[in-house]
Amino acid sequence: MAQSALRIGVAGLGTVGSALVRILDKKAAALAERCGRAMTVTGVSARDRSRDRDCDLSKVTWFDTPAALAASDDIDVFVELIGGEGDPAYSAVKQALEAGKHVVTANKALLARHGVELAQMAEERGLILNFEAAVAGGIPIIKTMREALTSNDVFRVYGILNGTCNYILTRMEDEGLSYDACLAQAQALGYAEADPTFDVEGYDTAHKLSILTSLAFGSVISADDIYVEGISNITAEDIEAARDMGYRIKLLGVAQKTASGIEQRVHPTMVPVRAPIAQIAGVTNAVAIEADIVGRLVLSGPGAGGDATASAVSGDLCDIAKSRPGHQIAPALGKPAALLAPYKRAAMRAHAGGYFIRLTVHDQTGVFASIASRMAEQGISLASIVQRRKNGAAENADGPQTIILITHETTEQAIRDALEKIEQDGHLAAPSQMIRLEH
């Protein structure tokens, strides 16, 4: 006997919500065949009912608030596309779970703050909490980590998780433009918000990374324990120096197991130009997983946009449509919320690796020797130390000079201690720049 149609309530009819309604309408017959059950949008909630959303809403019921939609007896699944870690999204999702509704959300901020609590609520009620669209848009990274890699022990996950930052860094390299000029272009094209802080300072990437960390290592989500550094201090000179040395600068989110705990960090990173992740340009996202059985996997694709994100949401809805009452529900975070390990933060300053350092120094006798000596005092081995010249010509002999250092593997604490001493020596004419190298 065929099941009745899966009734869907959509809260939030912005770019993603409108695209979702169009997809479910256009693909209705194909989805019913593939899922063994029809799916239909029966209720919606949005702030502005009069706005043209280019989708047919004539047969759906409008609700004044997301919470009212979540509690309605006319839906089986509540789709939260509002955004934000607090209300109305948070209370509406809780309302839906308390009312026995499955939940699909694209809200990384909500999950980073309340994901464990919501996962436990879903498990206790035998409900599904899906969130494929919350990380990397159309890339099926959540399903890959939660289901396909169950037999693997993951020891590292990293990636380009913010299209705005990747677009800016790509344009800076391709066209030799400043950070400010590229940011203005990104805002004009709609890739960056009027206030771009959440994206360019790394917080969006951090929220997504915290979710991947939980899935990778079976730990509670801990978004507050991430070292976060954005791209606003990256200069055209940094981009040029990286290119000359065979590197490309990317904003990466990195999570890995260490002897002292779990290390989570978001920061600009210099990666070799031949590395797969260095080839990811523009607004595209990419996620790499390193595990004991499969080795390294790299998934790339559109990390944002209405259609790509709505595709991930519709995939989550299809999983719910295929589920059957009484069957075991897979834990939202890969294993039962009650069994998630406490998060133990690794000491970030103990992170070991190579570093790119740019110093703007006064033109004084003995500066090179003094800098090399300060590095040696901290046990830092230098792979190279060069004075950069602009356009192949000698710089003004009376003005500040730029020195580029590349170190062998060392600790961040050692680098910071050396830079503090160099600054105290009075050699710096401008703040120093430090970018980690990843291989």
The kind and range of the H/E element at 271 are: strand 261-272
Q: Which residues contact 271 (CB under 8 A, 6 or more apart)?
A: 247, 248, 249, 250, 252, 277, 278, 437, 438, 439
Establish whether 208 is a catalytic residue: yes
Phi (first) and psi of residue 251, to 5 degrees = -85, 115
Q: Residue 361's closest CA among 419, 315, 306, 314?
A: 419
Q: Residue 108's closest CA among 18, 205, 13?
A: 205
Residues 24, 91 contacting (CB under 8 angstroms) = no
Q: Is the preceding peptide bond at 342 cis, omega within 30 degrees of 0? A: no
Residues 240, 355 contacting (CB under 8 angstroms) = no
How do 154-160 and 284-291 pair as beta strands? antiparallel
208, 322, 344, 421: the active-site residue: 208
Residues 301, 310 contacting (CB under 8 angstroms) = no
Scored b (16 or more CB within 10 A) or e, 128-154 reads: bbbbbbbbbbbbbbbbbbbeebeebeb
The kind and range of the H/E element at 171 are: helix 163-175
Q: Residue 331's closest CA among 39, 127, 141, 91?
A: 127
How do 433-437 and 355-361 pair as beta strands? antiparallel
Residues known to be catalytic: 208
